[in-house]
Structure 1
């Protein structure tokens, strides 16, 4: 299993590796070391290895310098012309000129994948697709059959580029187009994304859907020597309550049980729309807001803290870090409302995101911006209210509606089978069926022994 991150905080990848190993597959999860040092630990029955990443090759750097010199420094209009030229000249292979740093992944992961000699490679998202496809081709050249499962987390054409240059998205789209045909099966996170992927890449079959649903049945990650568990990214003061248990959300905020509490849990970035919550606080004089975020000390979050001080509501905004994966839902359950204020980006419109399911299992009424799929779901189930993205006044209206009758919204979770269908065991069963279809002849395994994947 391959992923382009350090595994820490990536709940989908952790759940997939753990549940596949429980089902009897022999799982090694390869990720990217954040500090250049190799790391290893156990994730349930799965092994996790983080690989050091080198810099761009000398050849790639030299080619880039020559191109920059030839085009006068790649100012934005010239860079656009450069991008268009190579996109036309090399088509799917254009990423080699536009984003040669993608070769870093091949150099870091490729030899390790080959040494593992897998029967199945589960490639998470678009950067790992190329690594997996090239490993499949090398194995074929040596007379071995390797199946490739591509797990598409997002619709690449609708993503916000991770770097502010015109090359990033065309390069990664070309890379994805080159290697998508080598996937033997595709899974993704929503029905809408499955439809888009099938159209984008001419897939003969609609990708199977594996939702980003929480797993409430497993404990925190088992860490190796000297390792903090990859999910355990709690902030200062979150180590535990005096009695030995985890600190509750209201204890983190220093408020009592009767204070209205709104929570946002997840990554903190401008497109996530957190600013609207701060702007709404003056009109919700009794309410407090808790952010449970990946970078509580980051520039974006600290800018929101300063804005809260300007508005005179800093004492009602509480910022903390992530907690262990199995503590997320119990932590969120201490709030009155779960808020998803994300703004209108194509990928935000097409899926139910992880926090949607976490809020649901915490049985929180959800206040969500009017991004299509989540808004439609909330309206259909009655589990919350919808507001216009980026509109503080409309957010205030929606929050007041929920706080006026929380029981009506919480009752939606009593619908037979709803939360069960939104849980990880149901998704793990889908994933195991995909694995088994790809490798139908694998030997039977005992859960106390190794598998063949």
Structure 2
């Protein structure tokens, strides 16, 4: 099983590995080490290995070329730029020291002699001044060159990308993002040693690693099967890297290797439809929703944090909760903006990465609005604790903005809120809004509309029992468990392996 991250924090991958091993499969989960050291531990009966990965190919060729054609005045990017700037600073410091010495010396000389000494120093001062102006100009041009290389919005850059896409087709990722080879160079030798019967490649970057291993193994007469697990619709996702060539490179990479997958798994029916159309799949992907793992419940002696205690509030204080990654497109700021409009309402953000600028901005916004005491930024808890932890809230909030990947699936927090039997307030992104309207679990508001969000919150708080009653509907949440979902995955494993299946 392959994943491009460090495993910890990726609940879907952890559940896949742990449940597959519990079902009798021999599972080795390969992830990426955060440093140069390999790491290893066990996740239930599954073995987890984190592989060190050097990023030697992450820089594209244009970043390594000489600066002369784009801007001959700029410094060469790298050590020379820093060296020249520090050299000039040293010269300026020397001139300042000479001036100070002259001041001391002229106190013991006649005015004429002092003027002559100052005049003798003038050529050097002028030279340093001109050199400083020239260095400042080169520094400005260097920064502009660095920005242009990052933005790649010049006509030559557009022409270059178009050229490689035309000439190389889906193989163009080798020029647009050669750093994808770093995954192969790190993971390929490890997989070769393991000699797996089946490779489960999570997401688009590991698809190529798994496909190339399958090709090598099949060439040696070993029929390795490849299952590709699609977490997001790549054309509709926000790029992970702020580089204009990154997303076209990932799309080309996915296009090249998608045909090598023996089976495809994904997280929702709408995403399955998109994948069938995009990759002309002859067999519909198996849908495995990222539902909570209720089998791994907290132990009897395990202490679950008290959500309301962490917020410093009692049982009668209204509390809304958000659990997940704090990204701008997730719309968390609407929760802060709504606090002044709803008396005594508190908001708990159970999020990772408290140091991210977006999270710091939320805290600052609460201070500006005078509601800092009603916003609580709390750390994540282990996924086996999340459902009982958030159950103490009055409302579960999912305020996503309109992005294609938000529209086509039920997110993990939806399942967590549902098993916690929370009334929901969700934005009108397609799939989750349609589900909430159909089940009656909560209210839907217009994404990004604070006034409508306040309306939805007040409506739910006026009669929370009405929304909690929706969970009494027989079978409503039965399918939303990892036990049910993982059964689909294991059936697929047996299918693709044929006689080798369990």
TM-score normalised by structure 2 residue count:
0.81
**What is the aligned counterpart of 1:327 among 368, 385, 389?**
385
- 1:27 maps to 2:30: no
- TM-superposed deviation, 1:413: 1.3
| Higher fraction of helix | 2
Matched with 1:175 is 253
Aligned residue for 2:227, secondary structure, equals strand
Relative to 1, partners in 2 of residues 1:303 and 1:271: Cα closer, same or farther, differing over 3 Å? same
Matched with 2:140 is none
- 1:250 maps to 2:305: no
Whole-angstrom CA distance in 2 between matches of 1:48 and 1:21: 11
CA RMSD of the aligned region, Å? Answer: 1.8
Aligned residue for 1:358, secondary structure, equals helix
Matched with 2:90 is none
Matched with 1:93 is 171
Aligned residue for 1:150, secondary structure, equals strand
Check the 8 A contact 1:55/1:104 in 2, yes or no: yes
Matched with 1:148 is 226
- TM-superposed deviation, 1:79: 2.8
Check the 8 A contact 2:407/2:430 in 1, yes or no: yes
**What is the aligned counterpart of 2:276 among 195, 198, 206?**
198
- TM-superposed deviation, 1:82: 2.2
Aligned residue for 2:385, secondary structure, equals helix
- TM-superposed deviation, 1:303: 0.9
Whole-angstrom CA distance in 2 between matches of 1:29 and 1:130: 16
- 1:397 maps to 2:455: yes
Matched with 2:129 is none
Matched with 2:153 is 76
Looking at both structures, which has the greater relative contact order when contacts are Cα pairs under 8 Å and sequence separation is at least 6?
Answer: 1
Whole-angstrom CA distance in 1 between matches of 2:308 and 2:380: 15
List per-residue Cα deviations over 1:88-144 (Å, max 9, x = no partner): 111100100000110110011100011000000000000000000000001011111
Whole-angstrom CA distance in 2 between matches of 1:27 and 1:113: 12
List per-residue Cα deviations over 1:369-393 (Å, max 9, x = no partner): 0100000000000000000111111
Relative to 1, partners in 2 of residues 1:319 and 1:81: Cα closer, same or farther, differing over 3 Å? same
Size of the aligned set, in residue pairs, is 422
Check the 8 A contact 2:495/2:501 in 1, yes or no: no
Aligned residue for 1:409, secondary structure, equals helix
Relative to 1, partners in 2 of residues 1:195 and 1:55: Cα closer, same or farther, differing over 3 Å? same
**What is the aligned counterpart of 1:411 among 469, 473, 479?**
469
Matched with 2:54 is 54
TM-score normalised by structure 1 residue count:
0.90
Aligned residue for 1:331, secondary structure, equals helix
Whole-angstrom CA distance in 1 between matches of 2:489 and 2:44: 17
**What is the aligned counterpart of 1:275 among 326, 333, 336?**
333
Matched with 2:184 is 106
Check the 8 A contact 1:220/1:325 in 2, yes or no: no
Matched with 1:118 is 196
Check the 8 A contact 2:493/2:501 in 1, yes or no: no
Check the 8 A contact 1:270/1:300 in 2, yes or no: yes
* Within-5 A mapping of 1:262-411: 262-411=320-469
Whole-angstrom CA distance in 2 between matches of 1:161 and 1:69: 31
Whole-angstrom CA distance in 1 between matches of 2:385 and 2:493: 29
Whole-angstrom CA distance in 2 between matches of 1:165 and 1:190: 29
List per-residue Cα deviations over 1:339-363 (Å, max 9, x = no partner): 0011011100000010000000000
Whole-angstrom CA distance in 2 between matches of 1:96 and 1:311: 49
Relative to 1, partners in 2 of residues 1:183 and 1:244: Cα closer, same or farther, differing over 3 Å? closer
Whole-angstrom CA distance in 2 between matches of 1:87 and 1:257: 60
Check the 8 A contact 1:262/1:335 in 2, yes or no: yes
Whole-angstrom CA distance in 2 between matches of 1:259 and 1:340: 20
Check the 8 A contact 2:38/2:50 in 1, yes or no: yes
- TM-superposed deviation, 1:300: 1.1
Relative to 1, partners in 2 of residues 1:63 and 1:139: Cα closer, same or farther, differing over 3 Å? farther
Check the 8 A contact 1:149/1:187 in 2, yes or no: yes
Whole-angstrom CA distance in 2 between matches of 1:438 and 1:70: 53
Matched with 1:11 is 11
Relative to 1, partners in 2 of residues 1:96 and 1:429: Cα closer, same or farther, differing over 3 Å? same
Aligned residue for 2:498, secondary structure, equals coil
Whole-angstrom CA distance in 1 between matches of 2:194 and 2:70: 43
List per-residue Cα deviations over 1:231-263 (Å, max 9, x = no partner): xxxxxxxxxxxx961211111111100000000
Whole-angstrom CA distance in 1 between matches of 2:501 and 2:185: 32
Aligned residue for 2:226, secondary structure, equals strand
- TM-superposed deviation, 1:271: 0.5
- TM-superposed deviation, 1:162: 1.3
Aligned residue for 2:340, secondary structure, equals helix
Check the 8 A contact 1:80/1:166 in 2, yes or no: no
- TM-superposed deviation, 1:4: 0.8
Relative to 1, partners in 2 of residues 1:177 and 1:393: Cα closer, same or farther, differing over 3 Å? same
Whole-angstrom CA distance in 2 between matches of 1:284 and 1:141: 65
Whole-angstrom CA distance in 2 between matches of 1:116 and 1:212: 28
